[in-house]
């Protein structure tokens, strides 16, 4: 397993899971409040 390059230390507020890219593998999206981005 490869390390996860995404950091969640910028005020994570919401988490969503789903198959966002239709590859049949679960995906995770984290909304970061302070950084105003999604990782």
Query: What 3 state SS string does 2-29 have?
Result: CCCCCCCCCCEEEEEEECCCCCCCCEEE
32, 39 contact by CB (below 8 A): yes
Q: What is the pLDDT of residue 16?
A: 92
Structure confidence by residue, pLDDT tens digits, 1-39: 677 666 666 777 888 999 999 999 999 888 888 877 777
Structural domain boundaries in the chain: 1-39
pTM higher than the cut 0.85: no
The two structure tokens encoding residue 22: 């239709």
């Amino acid at each position: 397993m490869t390390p996860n390059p995404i950091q969640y230390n910028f005020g994570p507020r919401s988490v969503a899971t789903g198959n966002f890219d239709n590859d049949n593998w679960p995906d995770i999206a984290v909304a970061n409040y302070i950084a105003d981005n999604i990782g």
